[in-house]
Amino acid sequence: MSIIEERVDTLESILGQFIVHTDVALRRLEREMKEFKDEMRLFREESERDRKALHEEIEAFKKEAEQDRKALHKEMKEFKDEMKEFKRRQEEENKRKNKEWSALAKKMGTIMEDLIAPALRPVLKKYFNCDVILEGQRMFRRKDGEDYEVDAIAACSDKVFMIEVRSTPRDTDVGDIKEKSKRFFEFFPEFKDRDLVIIFGSITFPENVIKYASPSGVYVMGWREWEYMDILNFESVKKR
C-alpha cells in the first residue's frame, strides 16, 4: 500500500509541477501575446499616421502642382496676348510705313522701281512658277521712227510678262494696256516663242478696275491689305 501511495504522491508532485510550469508558460505566452498585440497596435497606428502624412503630402503636392499649372497657364495666356498685341502693332506699323512709302513713291514717280520691281520675281515664281531669266525696267524700242516703251518686262523660259504701271488706276487704263499689248511682239520679236502675260501694276486698285481687268485677261498687282504686293485677281483671270 505504501508503494502505491508513494507513486500517487510522485504523480501528484509531477502533475503539480506540470501545472505550475504550464501556468508559467501560459502567463509568459499571454504576456508575449499582449506585447505582440501592443506592438502591432503601435505599428498600425504608426502606419496610419504615415499613410495620412503621405496622403497629406500628395494632396499638398497636387494642390501646388495645380496652382503652378494655373499660374503657368495664366503666364502663357498673358504672353500670347502680349505677342498678339505686339504682332498687331507691328502689322499696323508696317501698313503705316507701306502707305507712307507708297505715297512717296507715287509723288516721286518711282512706283515701278520702289514697289513693283522688288516684289516682281517672288510674285511670278509664286503664281506662274516662273524663274526669271531676264528683267528690265522702262524697256524702250524704236522701229521705223515709232517709239514703244513698256514700264517693265520679265521673261522666263515659256512666258514673257509685260508690266504697265499707273499711279491712279482707272478702268479705261485696262483697255489702253490691252490695246498696247497687241503690238508687243512687233517691237520685241525676240519673245515671240513665249506666251504674253499682261500685268497692270499700281499701289492699290478700286474694285471696279479689278472687275474690269479680270475678264480682259489682265492681272492686277498691288498692295494686299497694305501688307505685301500681290496679284489681286489671279483666280478670276485663271478661270477665264
- pLDDT for 105 beyond 60: no
Whole-structure pTM value: 0.64
Report d(CA 122, CA 137) in Å as an integer. Answer: 17
Cell matching residue 156: 522666263
Determine the topology of domain 110-238 in CATH: Trna Endonuclease; Chain: A, domain 1 (3.40.1350)
- pLDDT for 192 beyond 80: yes
The neighbour count for residue 47, using CB atoms within 10 Å, is 10
pLDDT 10s digits, 144-160: 999 999 999 999 999 99
- pLDDT for 224 beyond 90: no
Residues 6+ apart with CB under 8 A from 164: 150, 151, 173, 177, 180, 198, 199, 200, 201
The pLDDT confidence band at residue 102, using thresholds 50, 70 and 90, is: low
- Can you give the residue ranges of every domain in the chain? 1-108, 110-238
- pLDDT for 97 beyond 80: no
pLDDT 10s digits, 22-55: 777 777 777 877 777 777 788 787 878 878 888 8
**Residue showing cell 500685268:** 199
Residues 6+ apart with CB under 8 A from 223: 98, 102, 203, 204, 229, 230
- pLDDT for 199 beyond 70: yes
The pLDDT confidence band at residue 222, using thresholds 50, 70 and 90, is: very high
**Residue showing cell 528683267:** 135
User: Three-state SS for 228?
Assistant: strand
Cell matching residue 34: 499582449
| Cα separation values, 108 from 118, 128, 211, 222, Å | 17, 30, 28, 17
The pLDDT confidence band at residue 15, using thresholds 50, 70 and 90, is: low
Q: What is the pLDDT of residue 47?
A: 78
Cell matching residue 79: 504672353
Q: What is the pLDDT of residue 209?
A: 95
- Angle at 165 (CA atoms; ends 188, 222), nearest 5 degrees: 125
